[in-house]
Amino acid sequence: MSPLTKKTLFWDTNVENLDVVKHKRYIIERILQFGDIDDYNWMRETYSKEEIINVIIEERSPLNPRSLNFWCQQFGVKESICTKKLLAKTQELFWVR
């Protein structure tokens, strides 16, 4: 079963409008966040390792710190890049400024 038909991944999206090339960042993000092993395998067959890594280290990535750390380890992303990204995700409280 293609992940593109799963409501557990794309509950807020009309899956008929998803394009594997045009919406690759969105699809990869959803699989990294909410996918299972079958979704992961489909993603690895569909997208290159470099495309997936680019999504992981992208500044606007919605991955939480635990997921980010896991995927950085899984794909062999340099620790310094992941640490920098993790530190950037922690924001200063606006009332403490």
**pLDDT tens, residue by residue, 38-86:** 999 999 999 999 999 999 888 777 788 888 888 989 999 887 777 776 6
Residue 24 lies in a domain: yes
Contact 75, 49 (CB under 8 A): yes
Range of the domain at 17: 3-89
pLDDT at residue 47, rounded to an integer: 96
Sign of the alpha-carbon torsion through 26, 28, 32, 36: positive
pLDDT of residue 87: 65
**How big is the chain by its Cα radius of gyration, in Å?**
15
Residue 97 inside a domain? The answer is: no
Specify if 94 maps to a domain: no
Contact predicate 67/89, CB 8 Å: no
pTM over 0.85: no
- Mean pLDDT over residues 21-37, rounded? 92
Q: How many distinct structural domains can be found in the chain?
A: 1
Helix (H, G, I), strand (E, B) or coil at 94: coil
95, part of any domain: no
96 occurs within a structural domain: no
